[in-house]
C-alpha cells in the first residue's frame, strides 16, 4: 500500500509507518505541499498527523481528500475537531497512541473505502452535535437503518454480520442498497453524511 504522510519531522506517526509494512511514497507539511505531493504520488491513503500538522490540519484534509482517502490520526479527539475533519472529507479519525499494527489495519480499511473511527468515536460525535431524537431515514428499511448505525459506529462488515446474525454477503447487500438510496459513493462518505445530518 502506498501512502503519503502529512506531519512535522519526527512525528511518531511518520516514524511508526516508516518501519511498518507500508510504502511511504511521500511526506509533506501543510495543505499546499500535501496537495501537490498527493497529486504527484497518487497514494492509496493520505495520513494526516493532526498533532503535528498545526492549525491547518483540517485544511490539509480538505486539500487532499478528493484525490485519496484521508486518515486523520491524533492522540486525543475533541468532538468539534473530529466533526470538522470529517466534514472536510476525512475517511476516518483514529485516536492512536502506539502500535503499528493498529495503524496499519486502519490504513487498509481506509484504502478499501471503509470509514475508520476509533471505537465509539462516531457515536460520541453524533451525540455531542445533537442527534435528533428518533431520527431515521424514511427511505431505508429497518434492517438498513440497523446496518447504517453499525457502520457509523465503525464496525466492519463481518462485525456487523455477527452483531445482526446475518451472513457477510447479506450485510454487503444492505450496505450497497443504503449507498444507492443516499447517493453516496462509499462507506466513508456514508459516515460523513450520517454525521452531518444527525442520522443513524
> Which pLDDT tens digit goes with each residue over 106-164?
888 888 888 787 766 656 555 544 444 444 445 788 898 889 888 888 888 899 999 99
The hierarchical CATH code for the domain 126-197 is 1.10.10.10
- pTM for the structure as a whole: 0.66
* Stretch 51-70: mean pLDDT: 85
Ordered DSSP codes for 5-48? EE--TT-HHHHHHHTTTSEEEEEE-SHHHHHHHHHHH--SEEEE
Residue-range domain boundaries for the chain:
2-118, 126-197
Percentage of residues of the chain with pLDDT beyond 90: 18
Is the model more confident about 33 or about 97? 33
CA distance 185 to 22: 26
pLDDT at site 46:
93
Q: Which of 88, 82, 103, 87 is nearest to 12 (CA)?
A: 103
pLDDT at site 55:
65
Indicate the length of the chain as a whole number: 200
The helix (run of H) or strand (run of E) holding residue 83 is helix 79-87
CA distance 155 to 117: 9
Q: Note whether 14 and 56 are within 8 A (CB).
A: no
* Stretch 167-183: mean pLDDT: 88
CATH 3.40.50.2300 holds for 2-118: yes
pLDDT at site 128:
47
pLDDT of 16 above 90: no
Amino acid at each position: 500500500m502506498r501512502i503519503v504522510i502529512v506531519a512535522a519531522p519526527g512525528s511518531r506517526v511518520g516514524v511508526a509507518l516508516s518501519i511498518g509494512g507500508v510504502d511511504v511514497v511521500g511526506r509533506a507539511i501543510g495543505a499546499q505541499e500535501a496537495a501537490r505531493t498527493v497529486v504527484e504520488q497518487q497514494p492509496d491513503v493520505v495520513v494526516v498527523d493532526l498533532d503535528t500538522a498545526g492549525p491547518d490540519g483540517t485544511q490539509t484534509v480538505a486539500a487532499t481528500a478528493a484525490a485519496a482517502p484521508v486518515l486523520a490520526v491524533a492522540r486525543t479527539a475533541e468532538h468539534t475537531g473530529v466533526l470538522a475533519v470529517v466534514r472536510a472529507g476525512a475517511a476516518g479519525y483514529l485516536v492512536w497512541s502506539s502500535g503499528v499494527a493498529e495503524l496499519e489495519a486502519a490504513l487498509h480499511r481506509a484504502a478499501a473505502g471503509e470509514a475508520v473511527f476509533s471505537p465509539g468515536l462516531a457515536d460520541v460525535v453524533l451525540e455531542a452535535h445533537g442527534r435528533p431524537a428518533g431520527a431515521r431515514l424514511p427511505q431505508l428499511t429497518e434492517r438498513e437503518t440497523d446496518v447504517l448505525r453499525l457502520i457509523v459506529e465503525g464496525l466492519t462488515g463481518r462485525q456487523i454480520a455477527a452483531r445482526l446474525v446475518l451472513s457477510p454477503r447479506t450485510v454487503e447487500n444492505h450496505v450497497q442498497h443504503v449507498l444507492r438510496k443516499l447517493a453516496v459513493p462509499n462507506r466513508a462518505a456514508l459516515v460523513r453524511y450520517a454525521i452531518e445530518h444527525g442520522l443513524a
